[in-house]
Amino acid sequence: MSTAILAARNLSKSFGPNQVLSDIEFEVHPGTAVALCGENGAGKSTLIKLMTGVYQPSSGHIEFCEKTVNWRTPSEGIRAGVAVVHQEFSTLSALSVAENIFLEALPRNWLGLIDRKKLRENTLALLTSLEIQLDPDQIVGELSVAQAQMVEIAKALRTSAKVLILDEPSAVLSQQETAHLFKIINSLRSKGLAVVYVSHRLDEIFEICTDIAVIKDGVVTSAGAIKEYDHQKIISAMVGRELGDIFPDKAKYPTDEVVLELKQLRNSSFDHAIDLTLGRGEILGIAGLVGSGRTELAQSIYGAKAASGKVFLEGVELAKRTPSKCLAAGIAMLTEGRKTDGLFGNSSVAHNYISSTICKGANSLSIAPELAAKRSAKVVAQFNVVVDDLGLPISHLSGGNQQKILLGRLLENQPKVLILDEPTRGVDVGAKAEIYRHLRELADQGLSILVISSELIEVVGLCDRVCVMRDGEMVATLAADQISEDRIMSIAASEDAPQVDETAVLQLAGGIA
Amino acid sequence: MINTNQQSSSAWLGNLARAVRFETMHWVIIGLIFAVFALGSFGSERFATLTNIFNVQDQLVALAIIALAQTLVILSGGIDLSFAGLLGLLCVFFAGFNAQDGETLALAFAATLALGAFLGAINGAITAFIGVHPFIVTLGTSTILTGLALLHSSQPGGSVALFFEDVAYARLGGVPYGFIFVVLLYIFTAFMLWRSNFGIRLYAIGNNEAAAKVSGVPVKQTKVLVYMLSGLLASLAAIYMVGRFGVGDPRAGVGFDLRSITPVIVGGTLLAGGFGGVLGTALAVILLSLLANALNLMNVSSFYQWIIEGVIIICAVSVLVGRSKK
């Protein structure tokens, strides 16, 4: 076997007291593609940032071409020949395609001025060689997300890179675009390029990679040739448990009592009127592609979006709904964007927890300063939240712990109906399992729960009944014994549906892995 | 596939410097300029005369230079509030040379430009390397420099060679030298934004600093450079002001901190950085100067001018916000 071109030796990294990576051994050889797997927060992105000079190691070192290197900035890594497509986009929406690709390597004339003509020619040549069809002069802000991702990939491949690191490159690509990307990767690999491929999609890993390394909690738990692995083996190395352990049992006490009823609800995002009932203690899933109207349906029930039609809670009509009225009546909603409209990122964990029930437990004159901490200590214990100090800004917590605090915050309102939009997005598998268990316990205690999710496996594993939406229409309701991934997907992305978004299908199929 | 030949010319024209690309906003400003022109012509017979137009050109020189500096800083995602103190100090400093001959004048020029660039670089260095928000850094330096200028001379003082004053007042076929200089400065800046690495870096940093950093853009150096340029341009404005007044006024910069931002915002440059350019600023400077001039000639109290300027700012930003929501 050839020698490694890029390797991590005994690599550790801590941020303050948090040890993110410890004693990582990782290598990639020319002409191979190594899959880097792990849950969210396992340390994959940190490892990549260490190997590209964005971060510096706390101990251990990086070897490039068998020499110890100490890159202080990303540009040093790029210059040496390590190209990277970051998970968070590094394309600049204000610049043109050409400027993005050749940023910091813009062709210049003898006066040091940018040679615009040559820039255009070079860009066209590169794009043509990669079979990417884009206008070099177009502003990237005007491109679709997938096109911007292609710009990002072209940018990474602009230099004669020896190593190409792709951090979840296919997350925003359609099936066709992903196939195209794989073609590019394979042809580059045959020319001796070493590839590191980070993805949550196991099918892709088996298709494109030759080797694999699995990280769990900052430690490499398993590594070897991909042919020695199957799905189950990767997942257990990532999670440390079997898939079946993640979901709790279904409803123990099904009832016929209707808690929430929608009659002829409709708005501009779902223009076919929807009738729906939600039983006491039931977990009802709403499946469908992104853009099928799921989120808008939830927002309409909760009064965050205007809609015509009627909503009844325990037989009483809720007219002129607003979020605050719904909350008071007993409907609480978890939004899909934790950072955008869920958390108060700069506020403390405790203040986030009490933010929708600030005065609860306080006397009529003032809110005792220690009340917030006292109240939130309870939820921390109940949901097993990992937090050093309740006074820390909530943005310091991991996604799973943030989500537990948000869930606890909603429960403080003592809702009868809980609407959860993507309850486990960006949450690691361990915390997911805990959240599922709590949801089932709550349902068994009589809470009715509406779950919207793009993760098919979540809908299948958690819900008692599943409604499927397609293009703003409720097209099917599946009873417990009818729920399966295949069935939901074939309904959600039915052939006769006019505009099926392939990206969304892929996300749907991505599942928990 | 893309048709290369057909695209190259049209795209080049369409893109001809992001910095001067026409946006809807620019047409709105041009429309407003015509409206002000109509208003002025109707309200005062002295308004629509060549003499008056040349006067307006004279009056806008200092603001135009400072607004250009502010445009660069805002494009990079920063802000420079140091002009109030900086201009005052630089005026006092330049006039303090009492340059009466060519040699001292050249020295005064060089020293003033160097001082402006140096003070700007300090703003940039504190912002870039310590990470203090530029709003706070430049507010702080402005206060310090105001104090220093007043310590040096609490009243306007110093002097400058008469022949330099003559240059500051000189005209070429009626057009003030100062105005011609400003036009050239704007064209040069637009060109540099389009054709220099620095220009592209400026947009990149203002657009998304983290992304620029992982792309290898030397973010800190670029930031220092842009504040340095801002200081350098402030020196030019200060030298011009001393030329016009004949003395160095420590209070010459009062109000320029906020007045420099108005044309940038009205001109359509995004306060968050990354989008916009010098064409919008140029048009906005013309609009605001014409408006002030017209209202003056119509004997409208300057208090009303403030109110109108405020309304224009809010309307301009409302248009921008409305556009970005689409």
The C-alpha of B208 sits at a distance from chain A's nearest C-alpha, in angstroms, of 6
Residue A390 counted as domain residue: no
List CB contacts of B267: < 8 A, sequence separation 6 or more.
Answer: B25, B26, B29, B71, B276, B279, B280, B281, B282, B283, B284, B285
Provide the total of helices (H) and of strands (E) in chain A, helices listed first: 18, 20
Q: Which of B196, B210, B217 sits opposite A104 (nearest CB)?
A: B217
- Nearest chain B residue to A89 by CA distance is B211
* Assigned domain for B10 exists: no
Q: pLDDT grade, residue A322 (50/70/90)?
A: very high
Residue B121: pLDDT above 70? yes
Residue A171 — very low, low, confident or very high, per pLDDT cuts 50/70/90? low
| % of chain B residues with pLDDT over 90 | 67
User: Contacts of residue A74 in chain B, CB cutoff 8 Å?
Assistant: 213-216
The domain of A495 spans: 258-330+415-510
Residue A503 has pLDDT above 60, yes or no: no
User: What confidence score (pLDDT) does residue A512 get?
Assistant: 39
Between residues A398 and B323, the one the model is more confident about = A398
Tokens 């103190």 locate to B85
Model confidence band, residue A45 (pLDDT cutoffs 50, 70, 90): confident
The pLDDT of residue B2: 36
Find the helix or strand (DSSP H, E) in which A444 lies.
helix A429-444
Inside any domain, residue B14? no
- Residue A167 contacts B, CB cutoff 8 Å: no
pLDDT at A253: 67
Of the partner residues A75, A114, A137, the one whose CB lies closest to the CB of residue B195: A114
HSE on the CB side for A479, CA within 13 Å? 2
* B72 CA: distance to closest CA in chain A (Å): 15
- CB contact under 8 Å between A95 and B4, yes or no, is no
Q: Please compute the mean of the pLDDT values over residues A256-267 and round it to a whole number.
A: 91
Is the same domain home to A178 and A78? yes
Higher pLDDT, A448 or A248: A448
Inter-chain contact A113–B196, Cβ cutoff 8 Å? Answer: yes
Pairing mode of beta strands A258-267, A219-225: unpaired
**Which residues share a beta bridge with A334?**
A420
Q: How confident is the model at residue A41 (pLDDT cuts 50, 70, 90)?
A: low
∠A175-A179-A180 over CA atoms, to 5°? 115
The answer, yes or no, to whether residue A86 has pLDDT greater than 80, is no
For residue B294, pLDDT over 90 is answered with yes
Given an 8 Å threshold on Cβ–Cβ distance, is B7 in contact with A78?
no
Distance, in Å, from the CA atom of A303 to the CA atom of A311, rounded to the nearest integer, reads 10
CB-based contact B275 A94, cutoff 8 Å: yes
The pLDDT value given to residue A411? 92
Q: How confident is the model at residue B12 (pLDDT cuts 50, 70, 90)?
A: very low
**Which residue, A189, A206, A241, sits at the end of a domain?**
A241
- CA-based torsion, A338, A343, A348, A354: positive or negative: negative
Same domain for A213 and A294: no
The span from the CA of B131 to the CA of B137, in Å, is 10
A66 occurs within a structural domain: yes
Distance from the Cα of B195 to chain A's closest Cα (Å) equals 5
Residue B2: list chain A partners with CB under 8 A: 124, 133-135
A192: left (phi > 0), else alpha (psi -120 to 50), else beta? left
Residue A400 falls inside a structural domain? no
Distance CA A128, CA A119 (A): 14
Angle at A385 between CA A382 and CA A386, to 5 degrees: 145
**CA distance readout (Å), B170 to B173, B174, B179, B184:** 10, 9, 10, 16
Q: Are residues A63 and A178 in the same domain?
A: yes
Q: For residue B259, what are the contacts with CB-CB under 8 A and spacing of at least 6?
A: B63, B66
**Residue B228, pLDDT above cutoff 80:** yes
Q: Quick check: is A268 in a domain?
A: yes
Domain span at residue B178? Answer: 50-321
Residue of chain B whose Cα is closest to the Cα of A79: B216
Copy the structure tokens of residue A444: 């068994």
CB contact set of A37 (below 8 Å; sequence gap of 6+): A44, A198, A199, A202, A205, A212, A213, A214, A215, A234, A237, A238
| Residue A73 contacts B, CB cutoff 8 Å | yes
Q: What is the dihedral of CA B259, B260, B262, B268, to 10 degrees?
A: 170
Interchain contact, B214 vs A92, CB within 8 Å:
no
Q: Which residue in chain B has the smallest CA separation from A139?
A: B15
Give yes or no for A155 touching B (CB within 8 A). Answer: yes
DSSP-derived secondary structure letter, A4 = P
Task: Give the range among A117-126, A182-191, B289-298 with minimum mean pLDDT.
Answer: A182-191
ipTM of the complex: 0.83
Which H helix or E strand runs over A234?
Answer: helix A231-239
SS3 of A264, please?
strand
pLDDT band at A508 (very low <50, low <70, confident <90, very high): very low
B70 band by pLDDT with thresholds 50, 70 and 90:
very high
All residues of chain B having their beta carbon less than 8 Å from the beta carbon of residue A155 are 215
B197 to A54: CB separation less than 8 angstroms, yes or no: no
pLDDT score recorded for residue B20:
58
Residues of A in contact with B216 (CB under 8 A): 73-75, 78, 103-104
> What is residue A505's predicted lDDT score, i.e. its pLDDT?
44
Answer whether residue B4 shows pLDDT above 70: no
DSSP reduced 3-state for A47: helix
Residue B310 zone, left/alpha/beta (φ > 0; ψ -120 to 50; rest): alpha
- Taking the CA of residue A215 and the nearest CA in chain B, the distance in Å comes to 24
Question: Residue A17: what residue type?
Answer: P
Tell me: do A282 and A141 sit in the same domain: no
d(CA A428, CA B306): 56
Higher per-residue pLDDT: A153 or A264: A264
Q: Which of residues 43-62 of A touch B (CB under 8 A)?
A: 54
| Domain presence at residue B38 | no
Distance spanning both ends of chain A, measured CA to CA: 31
Q: How far apart are CA B123 and CA B141, in angstroms?
A: 7
Suggest the residue from A73, A102, A103, A134 to mutate for an interface test with chain B (most B CBs closer than 10 A).
A103
Between CA A66 and CA A135 the distance in angstroms is 40
Helix runs in chain B, H state only: 4-15, 24-43, 50-75, 83-96, 102-125, 134-152, 162-169, 177-195, 197-207, 209-214, 219-245, 256-259, 261-266, 278-297, 302-325
Question: Is residue A340, in this structure, part of any structural domain at all?
Answer: no
A98 — pLDDT class (breaks 50, 70, 90): very high
Measured CA to CA, the distance from residue B211 to residue B153 in angstroms comes to 46
User: Of A214, A241, A268, which residue is a domain's last?
Assistant: A241
For A134-156, b/e burial (b = at least 16 CB within 10 A) is: bbbbbbbeebeebbbbbbbbbbb
Q: Which residues of A touch B195 (CB under 8 A)?
A: 113-114, 116
* One domain for residues A234 and A275: no
Q: Is the pLDDT of residue A160 over 80?
A: no
**Mutation choice for A interface testing from B196, B215, B270 by most A CBs within 10 A:** B215
Cβ–Cβ gap A155/B215 under 8 Å: yes
Percent of chain A residues topping a pLDDT of 90? 34
Cβ atoms of residues A288 and A492 within 8 Å? yes
Q: pLDDT higher for B201 or A236? A: B201
Which pairs from A226-231 meet CB under 8 Å and 24+ separation? A226/A35, A231/A202, A231/A513
Q: Kindly list the residues from chain B whose CB atom is less than 8 angstroms away from the CB atom of residue A114.
A: 194-197, 200
Looking at per-residue pLDDT, the higher value among A493 and B96 belongs to: B96
Query: Please, which residues bridge with residue A220 across strands?
Result: A215
B11 with A74: Cβ contact below 8 A: no
* Residue A195 pLDDT level (bands cut at 50, 70, 90): very high
Q: How far is it, in rounded angstroms, from Cα B294 to Cα B309?
A: 13
- Is the per-residue pLDDT at B282 higher than 80? yes
Distance CA A511, CA A234 (A): 14
**pLDDT score, position B13:** 43
> Is residue B191 situated within a structural domain?
yes
Q: Give chain B's domain count.
A: 1
Which of A15-19, A82-86, A413-417 shows the lowest mean pLDDT across its residues?
A15-19
> What does the block give as tokens for B163?
């022949």
The nearest alpha carbon in chain B to A90 belongs to B211
Structure tokens at A208: 């494109």
d(CA B95, CA B114): 15
Whether A155 and A196 map to the same domain: the answer is yes
Rounded Cα distance, B325 and B226, in Å? 30
Q: Which CATH number goes with the domain that contains A436?
A: 3.40.50.300
Please identify among residues 86-115 of chain A the ones whose CB lies closer than 8 Å to any CB of chain B: 86, 88-96, 99, 103-104, 106, 108, 112-114
Angstrom distance (rounded) from CA B114 to CA A276 = 73
Asked if B200 lies within 8 A of A75 by C-beta distance, the reply is: no
CATH number at residue B173: 1.10.3470
Taking CB atoms and an 8 Å limit, are B196 and A114 in contact across chains?
yes
Interchain CB distance below 8 Å, B2 and A133: yes
Please judge whether A92 and B18 are an interchain contact, meaning their C-beta atoms are less than 8 angstroms apart: no
Kindly state whether residues A150 and A286 are assigned to the same domain: no
Written as one letter, the residue type at A504 is A
Residue A384 lies in a domain: no
Strand partners, A211: A34, A225
Determine, for residues A137 and B275 on separate chains, whether the beta-carbon distance falls below 8 Å.
no
User: Is residue B120 included in any domain, yes or no?
Assistant: yes
Mutate which of B200, B202, B271 to test chain A, going by most A C-beta atoms within 10 A? B200
- A135: which chain B residues are within 8 Å (Cβ-Cβ)? 2, 7, 11
Global confidence as pTM = 0.75
Six-digit token string for A196: 């590191």
Residues A12 and A130 placed together within one structural domain of the fold: yes
Query: Which residues lie across from A331 on neighbouring strands?
Result: A417
* Residue in B with minimal Cα distance to A101: B215
Counting the structural domains of chain A, the total is 2
A124 to chain B: which residues are within 8 Å by CB? 2, 4
For residue B98 the two structure tokens come to 């009492």
**Among residues A61, A63, A55, A53, which one has the least CA distance to residue A4?**
A63
Subunit contact A114:B197, Cβ cutoff 8 A: yes
Q: Are residues A49 and A120 in the same domain?
A: yes
Residue B37 lies in a domain: no
Considering chain A, what is the average pLDDT of its residues?
85
Out of A78, A84, A120, the one facing B8 most closely (by C-beta) is A120
Task: Say yes or no: A15 and A59 in one domain.
Answer: yes
Using a CB-CB distance cutoff of 8 angstroms, which residues of chain B are in contact with residue A94?
A: 18, 203-204, 206-207, 274-275
Give A482's contacts (C-beta < 8 A, 6+ positions apart). none
Q: Are residues A27 and A81 in the same domain?
A: yes
Q: What is the mean pLDDT of residues A193-203?
A: 84
Q: What's the confidence (pLDDT) of residue B238?
A: 97
Segment A172-201 mean pLDDT: 83
- Measure B188 CA to nearest chain A CA, in Å: 13
Of A474, A421, A475, A477, residue with least CA distance to A450: A421
Give the containing element (helix H, strand E) for A277. strand A270-279
Q: Which residues of B touch A99 (CB under 8 A)?
A: 200
Residue type for A257, please?
E
Query: Has residue B84 been placed in a domain?
Result: yes
CB contact under 8 A, B197 and A120: no
| Model pLDDT for residues A326-366, shown as the tens digit of each residue | 999 999 999 988 888 889 988 899 989 988 888 888 877 78
Average pLDDT over residues A444-461: 88
Within a domain: residue A233? yes
Rounded Cα distance, B290 and B40, in Å = 9
Q: What is the pLDDT of residue A414?
A: 92
Answer yes or no: do B215 and A93 touch at CB < 8 A: no
Same domain, A48 and A196: yes
CA angle B301, B303, B308 (to 5 degrees): 100
Interchain CB distance below 8 Å, B274 and A112: no
pLDDT, residue B326, reads 41
Residue A368 within any structural domain of the chain: no
pLDDT: is A74 or B301 the higher one? B301
Whether B307 maps to a domain, the answer reads yes
